[in-house]
Amino acid sequence: MRSLRDFKIPDFKFPKISFKNFTKIEEITEEAKAKEAQKGQKKKEQIPEPIKYDTFQDVFKDVTEKFKDNPLIVQKFDHKGKFEEKTYGMFKDDVIGLGTGLIELLGQKDKRVVIISETTYEWYVSYMAMLVGVGIAVPMDKELPDNEFVNLVKRSKATTVIYSPRKKELIEKTRAELTDVEYFVEMYSDKTLDGKDIGFEEVKKVGKKLHENGNNKLLDTKIDPNDFKVLIFTSGTTSAAKGVMVCNRNLTANVYACQKYVYLKTSDRLFSVLPLHHTYESTIGFLYPFSQGASVAVCEGLKYIVPNLKEAKPTAMLAVPLLIESLYKKINQTIKKSGKEPLVNSMLYISNVLRNVGVDIRRKVFSEILDNLGGNMRIIVSAAAPMDKKIGKWVDNIGIEFLQGYGLTETAPIAALTPEADTRIGSVGKAVVGAEIKIKDPDENGEGEVLIKSETLMLGYYEMPEETAEVVKDGWFNSGDVGYLDKDGFLYITGRSKNVIVTSNGKNIYPEEIETLLAKVPLISECMVYGKGEKDDLTVSLKVIPNYSYIEENIAKGLSEEEIYNLIWEEVKKINKGLTSYKAIKYMEIKHDEFEKTTTMKIKRYAELQKDKLKEEEAKKTNKKDKK
């Protein structure tokens, strides 16, 4: 999967949609009524009570035996080939083999092991081996620059690096600086031990032989649920990465909490499109389905998302708003080109009217749209940033359950989630089981900083006790996010306190609120709202990347930058009319390069503003030289 640090959605396309089922609306409605009547006669499916495990070693022992013949990881190991299945039984053997080999052959018991790779079966095996008994896992962003990689390996005190062949060049360039690393383990390789180098397959093979001969050290290891087990470096939007220390209790509490709100069956298949070094994907996209006997299909990369969805036929997907918005826009562009937009809108209305009286025809009527997503998609979960309610409602209107979650790396990650029984589009959900959420010093609108107390809360920041004490006070984590709770305890996020623009008359403006409105403008690909100027005299400003392909296809080709600027500014003025005067955008510039982003596709505002500051300083120096 390509970098999400400089994330750009590829120009994927959906095939034409004919909407043949629209002509069968009466037949589909009668069929839906009959099914509804049958449901009433059948007993409601009993959802089993979730099991609360203490450690992932317990989960591993239980589910790999219970579901040994079920598929777990579904992946294309050859782009030209088909998706291949790795079962729970195979996974168990490979985890035991690798884990035993790391302990006995390489002496890595209770040590720190870096995992740096694209999403692949070997990543899952490596991560699980650490959780069930080897040592401390240190998952890293595969797009780290060389110097950051070296810095984080040193900071983590890692003694082994497991890497994919795609990162071989990085390893070769940096290994001389990584003097404390004892072993470099290359995935897919069966190379025997040569100095510090060894193949992943060789470690696994040796470990399997040892296990067959009676070595059970890996799973016989007693694990304290509160022991430091995973070190995750945040790709923060404001400053240097902090190391978040996570324990087994944090992870098992996450899994238990999810089960209470969203029920996964063994037949469910999640589609993995986000990077695994981020807790959102590794915990909710892997550990949760793993605990339920479900499977995970690995996306080959964003440019293959449409064909991969069709081939893998997943039932659920974790995503971030940018990805969901892109799918929404691409599908609706396809509908518009077909000339069926008015008809689709009519059907959405009719479908919702029928749904209100207990007749659900959504999945049948909009089956062609769903077929483009594999045909089986029933849940899409959005997290990491606010999203336009209109898009969430559209996802729901075509027959997919749209859920939202909220959390941070520090909460490993889920703190709130929308229950399947009450999705409330626009809210990021209720505090999950084992968590409490409250608002600090709410204003007249009930808004304030979101505070979290949870079983999933981190042990602290690695070797940063002062920074830990700044954010965790009396057991409450100060999230830095701004939001409010409704009367039923549903949380709504409105902004981030660090991003707030404070005007000279003391008014607070949260950029995310305005960016959500700008995201609806098809002329705009991406944007960032910020305060330009000195602290006591800030101007609400906008950096924008135009949607050039949309402009060429729907307005005109070969427009000058000034013409594109004027087109977008007219749309910004329309948005300004709907805003309180002090929130109105006063300044806009077109950005020609990509925004720098975190791994969850959030713009690194701090980095962008630092670039501006450096440019201004350079300009001042140049002016001084010119005057001389």
pLDDT in tens, 490-506: 999 888 777 878 665 55
Distance between CA atoms of 392 and 424, rounded to whole angstroms? 10
Name 587's bridge partners: 541
pLDDT value at 175 more than 80: yes
Say whether pLDDT at 25 is over 60: yes
pLDDT of residue 340: 86
322, with CB counted inside 10 A (0-12, 13-18, 19+), is: buried
C-alpha dihedral over 338, 344, 346, 352, to 10 degrees?
180
Sorting pLDDT into bands at 50, 70 and 90, what band is 534?
confident
Q: Is the pLDDT of residue 402 over 90?
A: yes
Residue 280 to residues 55, 119, 182, 254, 435: CA-CA distances in angstroms?
Answer: 19, 14, 30, 10, 17
CA distance 69 to 387: 39
At 154, the amino acid letter reads K
Mean pLDDT of 468-489: 94
CA 566 to centroid of chain Cα atoms: 35
DSSP 8-state symbol, 67: T
Please give the C-alpha separations between residue 246 and each of 95, 99, 139, 152, in angstroms, as whole numbers: 20, 20, 12, 17
5: pLDDT strictly greater than 60: no
What is the C-alpha to C-alpha distance for residues 461 and 469, in angstroms, rounded to an integer? 9
Q: Please tell me the least confidently modeled range out of 116-120, 381-385, 399-403.
A: 381-385
Place of tokens 């809360």: 457
Average pLDDT, the chain: 90
User: In the sheet that 160-163 helps form, which strands lie side by side, from edge to edge?
Assistant: 197-199, 183-186, 160-163, 112-116, 136-140, 228-233, 243-247, 460-461
pLDDT in tens, 444-472: 889 999 999 999 999 999 999 999 999 99
Q: Comparing 275 with 159, which gets the higher pLDDT? A: 159
Q: Point out the least confidently predicted range of 45-59, 82-96, 540-554.
A: 45-59
Q: What is the DSSP letter of 603?
A: B
pLDDT beyond 50 at 4? no
The pLDDT-based confidence of 240 (bands split at 50, 70, 90) is low
Q: Report which of residues 21 and 93 the model is more confident about.
A: 93
Above 60 in pLDDT, residue 42? no
DSSP 115: E
Q: How many C-beta atoms lie closer than 10 Å to residue 13's C-beta?
A: 10
The band of 337, judged by pLDDT with boundaries at 50, 70 and 90, is confident
Return the closest-CA partner of residue 368 out of 23, 13, 27, 21: 21
Residue 443 has pLDDT above 60, yes or no: yes
pLDDT band at 29 (very low <50, low <70, confident <90, very high): confident
For 360-400, how does the pLDDT look when each residue is reduced to its tens digit (9 = 90+)? 999 999 999 999 999 999 999 998 777 788 999 999 999 99
DSSP string, 498-512: GGPEEPTTS-EE-HH
pLDDT value at position 237?
Answer: 39
In the DSSP assignment, the letter for residue 482 is E
Q: Is the pLDDT of residue 176 over 70?
A: yes
Half-sphere exposure (Cβ direction) of 562: Cα atoms closer than 13 Å: 0
Average pLDDT over residues 415-436: 93
**The dihedral of CA 501, 505, 508, 509: what is its sign?**
negative
Question: In this structure, what token pair is assigned to residue 267?
Answer: 């037949």
pLDDT band at 621 (very low <50, low <70, confident <90, very high): low
Percent of the chain at pLDDT exceeding 90: 69
For residue 624, the model assigns a pLDDT of 61
Task: Give the separation between CA 391 and CA 413, rounded to whole angstroms.
Answer: 24
**What's this model's pTM, rounded to 2 decimal places?**
0.83
CA distances from 166 to 178, 443, 516, 518 (A): 19, 50, 36, 37
Is cis: bond before 314, omega within 30 of 0? no
pLDDT tier at 241, thresholds 50, 70, 90: confident
Alpha-carbon distance values, 568 to 174, 523, 590 (Å):
45, 6, 10
* Least confident residue range of 7-16, 152-161, 360-369, 565-574: 7-16
The confidence score (pLDDT) of residue 22 equals 76
- From edge to edge, which strands make up the β-sheet containing 524-534? 524-534, 537-546, 587-590
Find all residues with CB under 8 Å of 399, minimum gap 6, and list them: 360, 362, 363, 366, 370
**pLDDT (tens digit per residue) in 55-102:** 999 999 999 999 999 999 999 999 999 999 999 999 999 999 999 999
CA dist 543 and 536 (Å) reads 21
If 0-12 CB within 10 Å is exposed, 13-18 middle and 19+ buried, where does residue 218 land?
buried
Distances (CA, A) of 94 to 252, 355, 429: 22, 47, 37
- Are the C-beta atoms of residues 60 and 132 closer than 8 Å to each other? yes
Q: How far apart (Å, rounded) are the C-alpha atoms in residues 115 and 227?
A: 20
Examine the pLDDT at 239 and tell me if it is beyond 50. Answer: no
Q: Which pLDDT does position 628 carry in this prediction?
A: 57
Task: Report yes or no: 449 and 437 within 8 Å, Cβ to Cβ.
Answer: no
Alpha carbon distance 286, 74 (integer Å): 12
**Per-residue pLDDT reduced to its tens digit, 206-236:** 999 999 999 999 999 899 999 999 999 986 4
Domains and CATH numbers, the chain: 56-76+84-222 (3.40.50.980), 500-595 (3.30.300.30)
Do 427 and 492 touch, CB atoms closer than 8 A?
yes
In whole angstroms, give the CA distance from residue 144 to residue 265. Answer: 36
pLDDT at 9 over 70: no
Largest CA distance in the chain: 90
Q: What is the DSSP string of 174-204?
A: HTTT-TT--EEEETT--PPPBTTEEEHHHHH
Stretch 516-521: mean pLDDT: 90
The two structure tokens encoding residue 504: 């000279």
Type of residue found at 437 = I
DSSP state of 456: T
Task: Count each helix (H run) and each strand (E run) in the chain, helices first.
Answer: 22, 27
Question: Bridge-partner residues for 478, per DSSP?
Answer: 451
Each residue's pLDDT tens digit, 584-613:
999 999 999 989 887 667 788 877 887 887
